[in-house]
């Protein structure tokens, strides 16, 4: 049985030196890294019961010590999630972020991913 998180991890695991984490990165992890999490989606439940075709909205954030590197990783993420076999659809444009506490630059983007459960 497939899950959106497994599909996203498989597509991204080679990026950012393999530092790709669900929800939150471990403390002290080397930079750059990627964090992804489910943030909703479209419900496909019908009167006949739940359909095996599912949708998940997944947010992916690339964190780095420079804004340029975060942007570059975001481009790699978009290519990995928009191409075969995932065929995810970006929702909106990337959003820039900066965390003053960690001095890290981030670029985040949401994707709509359809998959068979």
Residue bearing the bigger pLDDT, 3 or 48? 3
Q: Sketch the domain layout of the chain as residue ranges.
A: 4-116
What pLDDT, on a 0 to 100 scale, did the predictor assign at position 80? 98
What pLDDT, on a 0 to 100 scale, did the predictor assign at position 45? 59
**Calpha distance 90→87 (Å, rounded):** 10
What pLDDT, on a 0 to 100 scale, did the predictor assign at position 108? 97
Beta carbons of 31 and 83 less than 8 angstroms apart: no
Domain covering 4-116, topology: STM4215-like (3.30.2000)
User: pLDDT tens across 55-101, in order?
Assistant: 899 999 999 999 999 999 999 999 999 999 999 999 999 999 999 99
Please enumerate in sequence order all residues whose Cβ is within 8 A of that of 48, keeping only pairs 6 or more positions apart, or say none.
none
What pLDDT, on a 0 to 100 scale, did the predictor assign at position 63? 98
In a 3-state reduction of DSSP, which class is residue 6?
A: helix
User: pLDDT tens across 14-71, in order?
Assistant: 999 999 999 999 999 999 999 999 876 666 656 666 667 888 999 999 999 999 999 9
What pLDDT, on a 0 to 100 scale, did the predictor assign at position 46? 60
Please enumerate in sequence order all residues whose Cβ is within 8 A of that of 84, keeping only pairs 6 or more positions apart, or say none.
none
Q: Work out the widest C-alpha separation in the chain, in whole angstroms.
A: 51
Nearest residue to 73 via CA among 8, 17, 11, 15: 15
């Amino acid at each position: 049985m497939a899950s959106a998180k497994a599909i996203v991890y498989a597509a991204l695991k080679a990026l950012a030196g393999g530092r790709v984490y669900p929800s939150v990165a471990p403390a002290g992890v080397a930079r750059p890294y990627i964090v992804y999490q489910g943030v909703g989606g479209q419900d496909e439940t019908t009167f006949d019961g739940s359909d095996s075709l599912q949708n998940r909205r997944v947010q992916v954030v690339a964190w780095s010590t420079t804004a340029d590197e975060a942007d570059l990783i975001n481009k790699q993420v978009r290519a990995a999630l928009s191409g075969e076999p995932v065929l995810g659809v970006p929702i909106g444009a990337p959003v820039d972020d900066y965390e003053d506490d960690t001095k890290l630059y981030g670029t985040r983007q949401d994707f709509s991913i359809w998959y068979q459960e």
